[in-house]
Amino acid sequence: MPGAAELNRAILLGEKRGLDKNSRSAMAAAGTIHVFAISGLHVIVVSNVFAALLFLAGMPARVVYSLLIPAVWFYVYMVGHSPSAVRAAAMATLYCLAPLNWRRPDAVVAWAVSFVAVHVFSPDMLFDVSNLLSFAVMLAIAVWLRWGRRAGGGWKDAFMISMVAWAASVPITAHCFGRFTAGGLVTNIVALPAATASIVSGMLGILASFVSDTVAAHLNAFAAIAVEMVSGVSRVVAATPLAGGEIAPWPLPACMAWYLFLLALFLVVKPGRRCSIMV
């Protein structure tokens, strides 16, 4: 598979220099380029894989949470500690500290503390578009999972989370880039599970390489197939009329109106089963 190694490096390590221009353009138009930016998706998947291995080794939960904190920060450091990755690691740290102190994790509180901490130490990040996108999307997801009505599990939950994430990113994308990616609502339903499968396979492939090159090669091939699904769906959607395109940049009042409308939707939805999210 030509370019398989570049795709694997891009999604697991955030190394996007090997991606060809056509793939970049298609993913940007389809609203899936975010899967190659190290953020909450990557941190939560890597954390869960690491935690699962520790639990399989018979370690108690408090030990697992204690080890997850340095493991998450090592991963973030390894991939270049981008603002979105640091934000995700900060939220993961707060999530892990809660059970260590006999408290229930709260994603909204973790988001708020992370937001304040990041911008106190780096006030200029308030003007970084990728940073704003990362925080906006994670706040919307955290609020939905805390106060929203669960759709019933499985693909319905995946669809709702995808829709919430897309809705939170629309005003920032429209204001800063003059783009409206309506197709992103469809592509992310496929892209998020496929990206998750690729990250898991890529991470296990790295670990397996210390034991068996053959097993590692198969895992890396599966990771490449999964990420190729993201690329393929993006190209199809990008070529579909009305899936997205350039628009006049939204003024700030229009962006605020969109978020107020989104907040109103959250408020009218009846609370359902409460659940938490790591990052």
Residues of the domain holding 45 = 4-268
- pLDDT the model gives residue 279: 41
User: Mean pLDDT throughout 207-216?
Assistant: 91
Higher pLDDT, 166 or 66: 66
Residue 126: pLDDT band (50, 70, 90) is confident
Tell whether 275 is covered by a domain.
Answer: no
Tell whether 38 is covered by a domain.
Answer: yes
User: Mean pLDDT throughout 85-95?
Assistant: 84
Tell whether 115 is covered by a domain.
Answer: yes
Written in H, E and C, the secondary structure of the chain is: CCCHHHHHHHHHHCCCCCCCHHHHHHHHHHCCHHHHCCCHHHHHHHHHHHHHHHHHCCCCHHHHHHHHHHHHHHHHHHCCCCHHHHHHHHHHHHHHHHHHCCCCCCHHHHHHHHHHHHHHHCHHHHHCHHHHHHHHHHHHHHHHHHHCCCCCCCHHHHHHHHHHHHHHHHHHHHHHHCEECCCHHHHHHHHHHHHHHHHHHHHHHHHHCCCCHHHHHHHHHHHHHHHHHHHHHHHHHHCCCCCCEECCCCCHHHHHHHHHHHHHHHHHCCCCCCCCCCC
- pLDDT the model gives residue 140: 84
219-258 confidence digits (pLDDT tens): 988 988 888 888 888 888 777 776 666 788 889 999 999 9
Tell whether 86 is covered by a domain.
Answer: yes
Q: How many domains does the chain have?
A: 1
- pLDDT the model gives residue 12: 84
147-181 confidence digits (pLDDT tens): 655 544 555 666 777 778 888 888 888 888 787 77
- pLDDT the model gives residue 275: 42
